[in-house]
Structure 1
């Protein structure tokens, strides 16, 4: 029994605007499967995608706080020229440069039109086959604990774990990495970005949720009401949802 990450959930005041930004940023298509704007590759809506993590942009009534998101996307580049071109194109689409205390680093920190931070990385060999999203990055206090929980919660493989970071990736070897980076300071506000997980066909959602609780997840009330998905938080309070098989 294990769950598969199926998309990145991103909250937005204007899901259409934010969805359009990410569609153009990644060279993907924006689909409207319901009230959300789903951003994924190809011209035909495929969910869950067998390789990539799409972005599900969900409308919410409140704006992002001034607090930096604890979860963000890293975008890949294949050369320094490509990185420079990508940054320029993203700014033309509405991204803005932000200072999160990164100092003098080879990557560029930007924010989407609603202030959600993301990075455009310098070329790195490890991300050569990830597609446009190199990694989903989560700030944490204890990378080893995150490797334990998320390695057991999902069917992704732990590639690296030490006191500084924990790195996971789909066992298929495609798509982005999931990285937990030791970052000073505990989580203080609900995040605008989180992962959604899905059971495999034939697996029981209630049993999977019970298994996650036994691993250290806790129930989370975000005012979601009576919905078919289950909202949880990992041992450090990072929100995530377990979706129901349709």
Structure 2
């Protein structure tokens, strides 16, 4: 039986926690079929069970966005099974905060690999399919760090500036068939900060996280962009705490 035009095949990277998990739950609850990717497959499998128990449709695949072939297989599998890919939510990201003088080169490279190359791998995998089917939408999760730089966040912000620039360039290139949305969350309740190894960066984020929004608020912004009619392209949403100082 063909899917309803209002029911979309939506792929989400970094779906095992935080914004990705909240987005999966919300979009599935609104009747879409969600295809979830992340490295932590045990969490993905539990999430799929929860979604199905609530009456939604979901499936999951192990995914490392830093591997181009991995991302291509993730997207191609969804296309092969469902016949189309309506939305790709490029959500996978890492945040390792430290001053540049700390010289955490490995962490810089990891952020570049996940936040920039991972995004590009998603575009490379899905864009030809969306071109061929003459419709589709990329939802790229950036950050308020794409709009302002703060101490200890220079490299992280650089990767999110890059995400914003790539999204804007893609929007200008694809024209009328494919929509491109950038979501820039402010401080959000998530596990992103848990892996910060630098004590200065940890303290900086602890202070920032005193005022935070739930991941579900960002999921609502993503759902809003996805839910617009095909001729409406919501290009950017910044969503952050009302009391956010910056």
Q: TM-score, normalised by structure 1?
A: 0.30
Higher strand share: 1
TM-score by length of 2: 0.30
**Which of the pair is proportionally richer in helix?**
2
